[in-house]
Structure 1
């Protein structure tokens, strides 16, 4: 399957390139800067396409069978960029996929979007993510929404906790483990039209995904 990875130069997305290759997918890496192309191809991307979420990026969907939206404004930008990238950019990607016939859409979201009012530190970010998630759910696309908790840069543990909403948030999750989940759900029919949270836990990733 040809998978368009939006936000391909992000920290989780860079891991996702290799994990998609492990699942026998072809990776179309969407980037903002052509200077990033060589490094992403070295990571395993089959093709790179330069496009900007703040503009028109319909051309990035050429030959794509599925989309993983892993773009984010980053922790050092203001609420304005969060709205433009995490909310408006995601909504535009949903619209483009719908318009261009790409029916499979995986959204990298965030734990805490069920009720952003419970967080006052990054509430604007969680609100943007929640609205983008809700917009995707209301579309005609076959979606999966993955909501990880706090991210770390440690090596993958390959074991997770997966629930629709995790009540006891006593752990974090590695970016590499999130990438493994993103890559695996693309073809997993039991993940279609589902939303779930993940942390590192005690179940092997495939076993946890089997129980969605």
Structure 2
């Protein structure tokens, strides 16, 4: 192990995602509940990598480089299943000291950036689940991540969320559907580009 890559972690991600009306209102609500704030509102920039033939996407796999608050994380995800509004994925992450160098390594290995997306995320702990409140260019979402389906469902109920609105779709999939609905031709889910598009139309 070199000084470039550290804190290797293999885990399983179990989560449900809900569309919400206003991320700011939800943050205020969770703060009023005196929940532990694991992360204050923080900007994220995400880079999805794949081969030119999109082999990872075809296999429902994700290779992502994320920067947030000065930290850089390389993530690999492999979809296990999506059932009853909950996504189950294998997730392997490691912290990287240099974003540009890591990107150069991935490109040397035959990967390329094919999708970029950004969001602002706040993270709260509610008992034994994590609540991620996301403000994105295409709308706001709340993700609940827990150890099993029952725990996630129970906490969604405590928060008054409608389970019928939950989705297992990735932000890339949600963006593609949004873009098709509004006839947006851009490749990436970026605030500046989408705000400019909405001002025109």
Q: Give the TM-score normalised by structure 2.
A: 0.27
Q: Give the TM-score normalised by structure 1.
A: 0.26
Which one has a larger percent strand, Structure 1 or Structure 2? Answer: 2
Q: Quick one: higher RCO (CA 8 Å, sep 6+), 1 or 2?
A: 2
